[in-house]
Structure 1
Amino acid sequence: MPHAGPHPLALFSLLPLNERSQAVLDHPYNKHLVSRQKDGRLALDIGHVRSMLGDPTLATLGRNGDIYVEGSSFSRNQCSFEINPYTKVVMFYDRSHSQTSQVFGQDNAFPLEPGRPRKVLVRQGLNIYIGMGGVARDLIQFQLIWHNGGLTETIELVKGREAITLEEHLRFSRTLDESITASSTQRQTRVHTPGARQLKMRHVKENTLGSGEFGEVYKAIDVDTGMFMAVKVLKPREATPEDMQSFYKRVKGEVEKLSRIDNASKTSLKLLFVGLDDCTSQEFKIFMGLKEGNLTTLIEGGCSTDIDNLCITVLRHMLRALGYLESQRIIYRDVKPDNILYVTRQNKQYHFLLGDFGLRNNADMAKTFAGTPPYMAPEILTGFREASKRFRSPKDAQNAVLHVASNEEKVAVISEMATVDPEKRSSAAAMLLKCFGEKGLTSQHDQVSYAKNSPVLTCHTTDTYY
């Protein structure tokens, strides 16, 4: 007998849409997954039974699948539903020999396409129809019926599954056809680097994160990877189409240059630049990896890490990032806590990355007015410390400056970074060498610019990154 209503731990159910999918539901091997939906129809519940493949697989469909699919038209592992281990969203994978699995829909579908990973995000209201088998990928058709609201609720349920014991699959003891099933030959991780055929980023907007003079920033999810991103929509005011194209080409060149950073470079820039959308006459978009939060939210949320060690760790990681940019003749023009992102590593230490590259520019154009006044370089805005008093929380800024100023030794070691004349200012690479040694240095020693009479201080930290 089918369950009366979807199982409480089921994330979604597969509703049969044609005769062959109904045969899948009726097969004895799949009877333990069948439930009666609220409208009386029968469907296969997904999520409450542990997959034969274990985590992060929710369920496989095929001749050897958790959901048994009969017929030589289908692969032993035809397709599967997988949990993205980082974001906890659900992805649909095509595992078939001939790539005969697909998602369908009108305005709410992102079909699997040649040149992209053979996987795509599934969620309420998006990619809700799947098909498999045959030239048209429609011999078997199911509709995904979600039981838990939106994406946020699904993620919370997925996280909750990690603390409970799931039901065992009834066919664990069945003798399976052990012939090898070929997985897709397509790449499973897409790297957004320049090439002959640059595919457009496919994403869905979640919510707005902020807006300003240059446009808005919103949270989105990449439907091809299941990773969250921050999307910055640049809309320069009173810009002609020619200005937009010029601006786009300049930023595109910088993004492409940074996308070629090798993982071995050990900077705090890697994996942060994920793409750039085509330019229109009014706007274009920069896609950046969305991390756990930024330095502002970390401090305001009550970080338990010793503040001195935290400051040293931030300094170390930012010097690495800025040192690399210096070596590429790129100047970052808006270094501030909101743009210093972080992730928590397994050892519960923080890894800081430099984000929001909408205001970078080439070194020969660096004296134009851009950035956030309290954090601007001194040659850009004279009296920038006084200017910070005009902003939202001047008292907090003043208290932070007074706290640092109470330790003259620490002020002395970093004061050379604030020299008004940039020609006499120590570079980030020089400060990295001075405070932390050669680890993370991307410049040659003879290219490092030091300030004269620079005091010597070695910073000590428990940070073990790199």
Structure 2
Amino acid sequence: MSPRQSPHPETILWLVPAKDSPKTQEMLLHPDNKKFVSLCNTKPDVYGLEIGHHVPSRPRPLVIAEVGKNADLVMPGSSISQVHFSFEIHPESHQIMFWDRSRLHTTKIGPDPFREDGNFRKIVLDTTKSDYTISAGGEKLDQFVFHVEWDTSDKDMMVQEQENKSQMVDARICNSRWAPTVEDAPMDLTSWYNTRLHTPAIGAVQRAIMVKELGRGAFGDVHRAVDTDSGCLIAAKRIKVPRKDDALQREREQKNIVEYLGSSGWGTENVEIYMSLKSGSLGGLVEQFPARKDTLRLSLYMAPEIMLETHEQSPKADVWSLFVVLGVVTQAGNLHDPRLAKYNHVLQCVKDAAICMPILEPMARQDPNLRASAAQMLVMHFNGEGLTTPRRQIEPVPDASSQPSGQRDRLQVPAPKGPKPDVPGLKRLRSVSPKPAAKAPERPKHYFQTKERPWARW
């Protein structure tokens, strides 16, 4: 049988024997391989072994072709396994994967080799690369040497068609040498695929193949990508780092980042951060969970510059809101009282809560120019742990006592006048001043009951 001049329409790639490998050249003449030898459509006068769905001699879902001593394409040799290597389709990402199936791992591929750490004896083949070389057998792994030549047709369409045809394997006619004569155990290998990278695999992704751009922003691009070593779908964020990547490195090392799988490119202009790929988008979440139409005491947590419209909104408004949350949780200053209705009562309760929690007092200043930022509080109480802003850019917390009294109090709303409630056993909170003779600030003149609490000594 002479080699075909035109390839089979389902051919995905060719294994072209290296010119300096005579044993590989002999594979083209093997009786079981002759019908899969055809002329490559990428190089004139070059013949190779076809790899496609038409090659397998027995039905196996997701397997394109196996190569070995007793496989779809026969590679004879004493050091060759029954199935030495294979080409397969990943069930989730539909990428073409190359597997080393040899017993002693006597298969190598270049220029992108298998990972040396772990048990990664597989790799995703990038269809845009034309310089893959596969070597197998022998002490130096050079007994058989192939070059990979891709078909010039639409490979994505071929892979999709390959997956569809894998669903019809029961209708395939098997080669007679695979027909069992006795009740045999299943000949297929057990499932070897992990279609998701789970939490224990954090840090496992070291390289990826970009498939499709999902979005673009000021800091970089987000792509649908494939983990080169597992075939699983991931999200890859490609960030341009024009200067030092210290801040980005600190952000990567944050222990609270969810689904971080790995990264690459540190020290270069393009850093890639790999994360698990999630379906949907922020818009989908908004549509699924629309905004509530009822307001539940939102003004309690609103900063005075927003509520009273005295300053532009800034991140310091969130610092105020966080202080109010802490006050509600610890029941400081009666901020937890459900009867709070007027905003001037809220401001007075915040002042009382600041007396109870003096270490957080910079968060409760009504003037946002005097209020501490989140970064300043991290420096003040946590020695800067968790910062994403370079510490040299963080200024000290403003000294409220050095400001004119009019500036400190310009946002304060006077407490409502009224008779002081007669509450039995009412005790005065500790004063901020260490002097025993110092007079405690005037208590809010409203109807809320206060009690002595252990956190008053903060």
Under a length normalisation based on structure 1, what TM-score does the superposition of the two structures give?
0.52
Aligned to 1:263: none
* 1:85 Cα offset (Å): 0.3
Contact 1:128 1:144 in 2 (8 A): yes
* 1:192 Cα offset (Å): 8.0
Q: Does 1:217 align with 2:222?
A: yes
Aligned to 2:405: none
Aligned to 2:274: 287
* 1:191 Cα offset (Å): 6.8
Percent of aligned positions with the same letter in both sequences? 24
Aligned to 2:83: 77
Q: Does 1:136 align with 2:140?
A: yes
Paired with 2:306 and 2:254, the residues of 1 have a C-alpha distance of 31
Paired with 2:92 and 2:235, the residues of 1 have a C-alpha distance of 16
Contact 2:93 2:226 in 1 (8 A): no
Aligned to 1:147: 151
**Bigger Rg over Cα:** 2
* 1:279 Cα offset (Å): 3.4
C-alpha spacing 1:194/1:42, structure 2 compared with 1 (3 Å)? closer
Contact 2:66 2:86 in 1 (8 A): yes
Task: Give the letter for the 1:224 counterpart.
Answer: D
Aligned to 2:50: 45
C-alpha spacing 1:221/1:187, structure 2 compared with 1 (3 Å)? closer
Aligned to 1:9: 10
Aligned to 1:121: 124
Task: Give the letter for the 1:44 counterpart.
Answer: L
Paired with 2:10 and 2:47, the residues of 1 have a C-alpha distance of 17
Q: 1:107-256, aligned counterparts within 5 Å? A: 109-115=112-118, 117-126=120-129, 128-149=132-153, 152-162=156-166, 168-173=173-178, 201-235=206-240, 241=244, 244-254=245-255
Paired with 1:62 and 1:110, the residues of 2 have a C-alpha distance of 20
Q: 1:292-441, aligned counterparts within 5 Å? A: 292-294=279-281, 296=283, 311=288, 421-422=321-322
C-alpha spacing 1:77/1:194, structure 2 compared with 1 (3 Å)? closer
Paired with 2:143 and 2:89, the residues of 1 have a C-alpha distance of 26
C-alpha spacing 1:67/1:112, structure 2 compared with 1 (3 Å)? farther
Aligned to 1:441: none
Q: Does 1:60 align with 2:63?
A: no
C-alpha spacing 1:378/1:77, structure 2 compared with 1 (3 Å)? farther
SS at match of 2:32: helix
Runs (5+) with no aligned partner, structure 2: 292-300, 308-317, 330-334, 340-458
Aligned to 1:275: 262
* 1:54 Cα offset (Å): 0.6
Contact 1:131 1:141 in 2 (8 A): yes
SS at match of 1:22: helix
Contact 2:213 2:224 in 1 (8 A): yes
C-alpha spacing 1:180/1:21, structure 2 compared with 1 (3 Å)? farther
C-alpha spacing 1:168/1:128, structure 2 compared with 1 (3 Å)? farther
* 1:114 Cα offset (Å): 4.4
* 1:148 Cα offset (Å): 4.7
C-alpha spacing 1:6/1:169, structure 2 compared with 1 (3 Å)? farther
Paired with 1:170 and 1:5, the residues of 2 have a C-alpha distance of 24
Paired with 2:29 and 2:263, the residues of 1 have a C-alpha distance of 47
Contact 2:52 2:65 in 1 (8 A): yes
Task: Give the letter for the 2:143 counterpart.
Answer: L
C-alpha spacing 1:167/1:75, structure 2 compared with 1 (3 Å)? same
RMSD: 4.6
Task: Give the letter for the 1:14 counterpart.
Answer: L
1:35 corresponds, among 35, 38, 47, to: 38
SS at match of 2:275: strand
C-alpha spacing 1:151/1:31, structure 2 compared with 1 (3 Å)? closer
Aligned to 2:366: none
Per-residue displacement from partner, 1:139-163 (whole Å, max 9, x unpaired)?
Answer: 1122222225465344433344346
* 1:118 Cα offset (Å): 0.3
